[in-house]
Copies of this chain bind each other. A is one copy, B any other.
Amino acid sequence: MFFQVDPRSQIPIWEQIVNQIKELVLKGILTPGDKIPSVRELASHLIVNPNTVSKAYQELERQGVIETMRGRGTFICTKLTTNADEQKIALLQDKTKQLVIEGSYLGVSSDTFTEWIRAFAKELGGNERD
């Protein structure tokens, strides 16, 4: 369980934690049933406020990525729910669009984006859920 958090980033710390855990799951480094650190452990490791980790865990549970077992700890969820919410997909498409616009002003072509995506999808390996 090694990851870091950038307190300077514009992305909220709790969201950085959410993202990184989801990434570790997709990469197969964290597999269903794995125990993840307690809120206090992770907080002291990342040197952040426990409330921040707590918020991240709540969000992950809400998304069905982890589940907490009273008195036992927090675990990666067994059933991987792929909830293809249309609204969320539309939002994702919109974000992609904005990214292309930003890229265009920075001289990043659509081919470069495609390259990035393929490279990263490969990094995720066969764990990609599609």
Contact = CB atoms under 8 A, between A and B. Distances in A.
A120 B97 contact: yes
Interface string A48-86: 000000000000001101010110100000000011110
A102 B92 contact: yes
A120 B113 CA distance: 12
A8 B108 contact: no
Contact of A117 (B8, B84, B96, B102): B96
Interface of A: 7-8, 12, 19, 22-23, 26, 62-63, 65, 67, 69-70, 72, 82-85, 88-89, 92-93, 95-110, 112-114, 116-118, 120-121, 124, 128-130
Given A92-B102, A96-B117, A114-B114, 13 more contacts: A8-B67, A12-B70, A19-B98, A19-B101, A23-B101, A84-B107, A92-B99, A92-B103, A96-B116, A97-B120, A100-B124, A107-B130, A113-B117
A93 B119 CA distance: 11
Contacts of A19: 98, 101
A105 B82 contact: yes
A7 B99 CA distance: 21
A89 B117 contact: no
